[in-house]
């Protein structure tokens, strides 16, 4: 689901019903077109620090937003106010656990920091990769799966054609759009989204916003 950037804003994705992506999606899919007309526009600020974005995604896993925010503040303070690979690797496992991190998440953060520190992940180079190559690189880190990598593509790189069929919110939104069971196989959701290429990120943002509006 869309969220506020964790660090500075690098840029902004903006899609409107009368913009190029909005018009193309409406032409390809009448039902989505009607939803886009209702939503009107979507805007997403892009995270400016890719390491922090991934580290925060790990911290956020499987706990409430309030708990994650508390742990992150402690973790950030331990790192001297800025979470970097060197700051993570400069502290012991016990130090990191003292912030409230589980042993598993501590290991994930250390593995991410090690991948960046030794050059296995070079964020400047990564930005030039194709989407699937980025996913392959990131999922080599323990604790980062395909969904997290796809969120990185959207929220940190602003890639225009990403649709995360594993995302529960998108699955519910597509189910409402089509009037089908939200427990459809992932492959069926992906097949529906194929019609929205090469604007699947815009489609996802419109669907997320529509879902949030109806859930409120």
Q: 103: how many CB neighbours lie within 10 A of its CB? A: 10
Cβ contact 100:70 at 8 Å: yes
Helix (H/G/I), strand (E/B), else coil: 167: coil
Sign of CA pseudo-dihedral 132, 55, 166, 5: negative
Indicate which residues carry an active-site annotation: 167
Q: Which residues contact 22 (CB under 8 A, 6 or more apart)?
A: 15, 16, 36, 202, 206
Between vectors from CA 105 to CA 146 and to CA 55, what angle results, nearest 5°? 60
d(CA 140, CA 149): 10
* HSE-CB for 160 with a 13 A CA cutoff: 10
């Amino acid at each position: 689901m869309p969220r506020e950037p964790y660090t500075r804003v690098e840029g902004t994705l903006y899609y409107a019903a009368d913009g190029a992506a909005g018009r193309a999606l409406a032409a390809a899919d009448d039902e989505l077109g009607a939803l886009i007309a209702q939503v009107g526009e979507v805007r997403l600020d892009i995270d400016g620090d890719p390491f922090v974005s991934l580290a925060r995604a790990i911290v956020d896993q499987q706990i409430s937003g309030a708990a994650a925010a508390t742990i992150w503040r402690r973790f950030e303070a331990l790192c001297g106010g800025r979470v970097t690979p060197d700051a993570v690797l400069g502290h012991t496992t016990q130090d990191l656990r003292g912030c409230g991190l589980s042993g598993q998440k501590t290991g994930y953060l250390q593995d991410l920091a090690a991948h960046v520190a030794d050059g296995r992940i070079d964020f400047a180079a990564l930005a030039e990769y194709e989407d699937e190559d980025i996913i392959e690189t990131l999922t080599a880190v323990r604790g980062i799966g395909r969904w997290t990598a796809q969120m990185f593509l959207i929220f940190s790189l602003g890639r225009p054609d990403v649709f995360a069929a594993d995302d529960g919110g998108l699955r519910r939104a597509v189910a409402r759009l089509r009037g089908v069971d939200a427990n459809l196989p992932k492959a069926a959701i992906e097949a529906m989204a194929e019609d929205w290429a090469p604007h699947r990120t815009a489609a996802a943002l419109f669907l997320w916003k529509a879902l949030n509006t109806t859930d409120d």
